[in-house]
Amino acid sequence: MSKNALISGGAQRIGAAIAKALHQKGFTIYLHFGQSHEAAKKLQKGLNKVRENSCHILSCDLSDINAPKTIADWLLNNTQELDLLVNNASAFYETPWESAGIEEWQKILTINSQTPFFLSQALLPALKKSRGQVINLIDIHVERTLENHPIYCASKAALKSLTLSLAKDLKGQVRCNGISPGAILWPEQEVNQSLQSEILQKIPGGHLGDVKNISDTVLFLVENSYINGQIINVDGGRTLHS
């Protein structure tokens, strides 16, 4: 029987790589996306071409407080069992102390920590039924904050804490782990050359990672049933120099 995976923010970049990797392992993919309609449809078409009716997509604004219920209802209308929830979607942009406002605080905290909490909560019965797992995409800057991103870092710190709480409180009925990427892709916002050089100098290998480094880590966590409550840094050793 096919296993089921729900991935938030799965149309592009890291999310798409995770979706493709899980699909290759036989998972049926339930893929949430925001505004990336064309990318989501293209990915769905490609996966369904490999295996018919193996990828389902839904667009939803994760800053909406009703988003967790909308996504959970959609999933549960299709299946009552969920083997894997990947909370990958994230809001990432600068919020300097001098200018950040309450709207930015609410939006980033909602997308990055509130929605993953309530989506996980809504899907616990389906996850328990499969003795499934939640994997949260966190960030290495939880430990060493990123300049001018105090709200983003706070939201990811909250997600890390929620990861550990779920792993502990569910007592093995549902595993929960986190992955903290380092420099895998440059942000969608333009990064100037000097900042790129500064970041690369802090990575022992001197280069960016690849989305496959993250998707491979997801597969590792899926396949190793004795890992629970762990946060894995996938950063090429960057945290050694931060």
**pLDDT exceeds 70 at position 139:** yes
Listed in sequence order, the residues at least 6 apart from 72 whose beta carbon sits closer than 8 Å to its beta carbon are 119, 122, 123
The CB-side HSE value for 137 (13 A sphere, CA atoms) comes to: 29
Which range, of 19-28, 141-150, 205-214, 221-230, averages the lowest pLDDT?
205-214
State how far the Cα of 130 lies from the Cα of 110, in Å rounded to an integer.
27
Tell me the three-class secondary structure of 19-34, residue by residue.
HHHHHHCCCEEEEEEC
CA 237 to centroid of chain Cα atoms: 21
Look up residue 66 and give its amino acid: N
> Which DSSP letter does residue 111 get?
I
User: Whole-number mean pLDDT of the chain?
Assistant: 94
pTM comes to 0.95
pLDDT of residue 242: 59
Model pLDDT for residues 79-108, shown as the tens digit of each residue: 999 999 999 999 999 999 999 999 999 999
pLDDT of residue 184: 80
pLDDT of residue 189: 63
State how far the Cα of 195 lies from the Cα of 128, in Å rounded to an integer.
44
Of 73, 59, 61, nearest to 122 by C-alpha is 73
- Of residues 61 and 146, more confidently modeled: 61
Degrees to nearest 5, angle at CA 42 with 40 and 46: 115
Tell me the three-class secondary structure of 150-212, residue by residue.
HHHHHHHHHHHHHHHHHHHHCCCCCEEEEEEECCCCCCCCCCCHHHHHHHHHCCCCCCCCCHH
Model pLDDT for residues 180-236, shown as the tens digit of each residue: 998 888 776 666 777 778 777 777 777 788 999 999 999 999 999 999 999 999 988
Model pLDDT for residues 32-77, shown as the tens digit of each residue: 999 999 999 999 999 999 999 999 999 999 999 999 999 999 999 9
What pLDDT band is residue 149 in, cutting at 50, 70 and 90? Answer: very high
Structure tokens at 203: 């990575």
pLDDT of residue 36: 97
Tally of residues, the chain: 242
Model pLDDT for residues 168-185, shown as the tens digit of each residue: 999 999 999 999 998 888
Model pLDDT for residues 120-137, shown as the tens digit of each residue: 999 999 999 999 999 999
